[in-house]
């Protein structure tokens, strides 16, 4: 069961991308009193993410949305202007690939 309607958007970033760019940020960003966002600059509908996970895992059941639960903020997307100005346009692992790698890690770790 998924909470809410799935019609909200969220930004995702794969953990390897965080580690890849974190060192570059530390080495190049000196304005420590002003935060800098690390993000993909792309967001995805939660219902699309849920359906992608369903497909990648081979889940045959139905995704049930509990719309009695609130969706929360309709969209959460970081402003990545500062980091793009600092490091140039960044390349991120696509959502599908990041989800696949995460599922594979989980299956290996928990022997599924």
pLDDT of 18: 96
Helix axes 46-57, 95-109, angle to 10 degrees: 50
Share of the chain above pLDDT 90, in %: 96
- How much of the chain, in percent, has pLDDT values that exceed 70? 99
Instruction: State pTM to two decimals.
Output: 0.86
Closest CA to 105 of 68, 56, 41, 64: 56
pLDDT in tens, 10-54: 999 999 999 999 999 999 999 989 999 999 999 999 999 999 999
**How far is CA 39 from its chain centroid?**
8
- Average pLDDT estimate for 66-82: 95
Compute and round to an integer the Cα radius of gyration of the chain.
17
């Amino acid at each position: 069961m998924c909470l809410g309607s799935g019609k909200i958007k969220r930004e995702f970033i794969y953990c390897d991308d965080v580690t890849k760019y974190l060192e570059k940020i530390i080495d190049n960003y000196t304005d420590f009193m002003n935060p800098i966002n690390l993000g993909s600059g792309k967001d995805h509908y939660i219902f699309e993410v849920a359906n992608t996970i369903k497909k990648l895992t081979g889940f045959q059941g139905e995704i049930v949305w509990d719309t009695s639960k609130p969706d929360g903020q309709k969209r959460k997307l970081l402003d990545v202007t500062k980091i793009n100005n600092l490091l140039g346009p960044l390349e991120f692992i696509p959502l599908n690939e990041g989800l696949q790698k995460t599922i594979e890690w989980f299956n290996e770790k928990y022997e599924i």
